[in-house]
Structure 1
Amino acid sequence: MEVLLILGIATGLYYVMSALVKSGTRRPPPPTRPSSPPARQFREIKKPQTSSEKTRVPEGYKDGDHLTRTNGVDHAEPPAFPLSMALEGPAYVIDGDTIVVSKIKIRLAGIDAPELDRPWGQKAKWEMVRICKGHVIRAELTGDTTYDRLVGTCYLPDGTDIGAEIVKAGLALDGGYYSEGKYRHLEPAGIRRKLKPHGNRIRS
């Protein structure tokens, strides 16, 4: 019995000493590294377009049509001239000095009517409608262009000059960029005081 007791005590001491030795030689755990900060989120900043980079698409034209610029205004290029240098057909009136014949815009040569948003502009348009209504118009082209329009002198079937008629009506002036005083004698007295201040591009 004494021998077994001594063996039991010796075995217990062995395990205690082994545990103490192992605990003394164990490496301390490595220090924990601070977690890395979350990745920065970058927001794309789009540079706003400058006025020179923006392109205005005129009313009536599709995005993608070839545009050109004249006097700071974007517009479609004028169409090609027909070989005959003349067009015939019913007229669709845009304003007092621009009509459409055979799907081509025609700027009447030698006259200048008020723009639609200016005083007398709407009245000039409807006077042109009255002149052209029910007629086949003949446009004799000069070879000049302005913006997306061809320039021409337009006539009724009986040979009446449409430009002359609207000047006589007091709703357009001789002038613009394509006149040499051709219609000046047809202007009613005092008409330049009424129309000229309202934005017409007139040669005095």
Structure 2
Amino acid sequence: MPSAALAGPAGQARIIDGDTLDVAGERVRLWGVDAPERDQSCEDADGRPYACGRQAAVALSDLVAGRTVTCDQRDIDRYGRTVAQCAAGGEDLGRRLVRDGHALDYTRYSRGAHLSEEIRARRDKAGVWQGVFTRPEDWRRGGG
């Protein structure tokens, strides 16, 4: 990963899933976070299943809420997507998703950049931390 971010896309965003957007027509994966996949289900505090992947996408949509999204490119992933830190209204989208429990710190890539937000979300039982879930990376490995 480059040590310095490069200017990335900016503009209106369309939400793909909880950690991926199209920004001004460019596919962008949020850097340093991993959100449940769109079809992924989790269990709430009472053990009832809920669509945590869809909930993560809605949370990202609410954060963007028609505002201009600005991104600083950090990398290109193996699928050719721009990997970037993105903000809307001055707020880092990935950091906020982790803090609200809709994504996890993707430590392998972030080197713990969002770990304090994840610890806070765990403590507050926010989002996926309210019940039982499979880490998105493990869910993908298992074939969904």
TM-score, length-normalised on structure 1? 0.52
Report how many aligned residue pairs link the two structures. Answer: 117
Partner of 1:133: 65
Tell me the alpha carbon deviations over residues 88-124 of structure 1, each in whole angstroms, 9 at most, x when there is no partner: 1011000000001111100000000011111110110
Partner in structure 2 of residue 62 of structure 1: none
Aligned residue for 1:171?
102
C-alpha change, 1:192 and 1:185, in structure 2 (3 Å) is farther
| 8 Å contact from structure 1 (residues 118, 198) kept in 2 | no
Contact kept in structure 2, 1:112 and 1:176, CA below 8 Å: no
Root-mean-square deviation (Å): 2.2
Q: In proportion to residue count, which structure has more strand?
A: 2
| Contact persistence 2:36–2:56 (CA under 8 A) | yes
Q: TM-score under structure 2 normalisation?
A: 0.73
**Shift of residue 132 of structure 1?**
0.5
Higher relative contact order (CA 8 A, sep 6+): 2
In 2, distance between residues paired with 1:192 and 1:108?
Answer: 23
Closer/same/farther in 2, CA of residues 125 and 93 from structure 1, 3 Å limit: same
Separation (CA, whole Å) in 2 of partners of 1:96 and 1:153: 14
Alignment of 1:149-164 (within 5 A): 149-157=81-89, 159-164=90-95
Q: Which runs of 4+ in 1 moved over 4 A?
A: none
Larger Cα-atom Rg: 1
Higher helix share: 2
User: Partners in 2 of 1:127 and 1:148 — Cα distance?
Assistant: 25
Paired with 2:11 and 2:64, the residues of 1 have a C-alpha distance of: 11
- Residue matched to 2:25: 103
- Residue 116, structure 1, aligned to residue 38, structure 2: yes
Structure 2 distance, partners of 1:93, 1:143, is 20
Unaligned runs of 5+ in 2: 1-5, 42-51, 139-144
Given that residues 107 and 146 in structure 1 are in contact (C-alpha distance below 8 angstroms), is that contact kept between their aligned partners in structure 2?
A: no
Q: Return the offset for 1:179.
A: 1.2
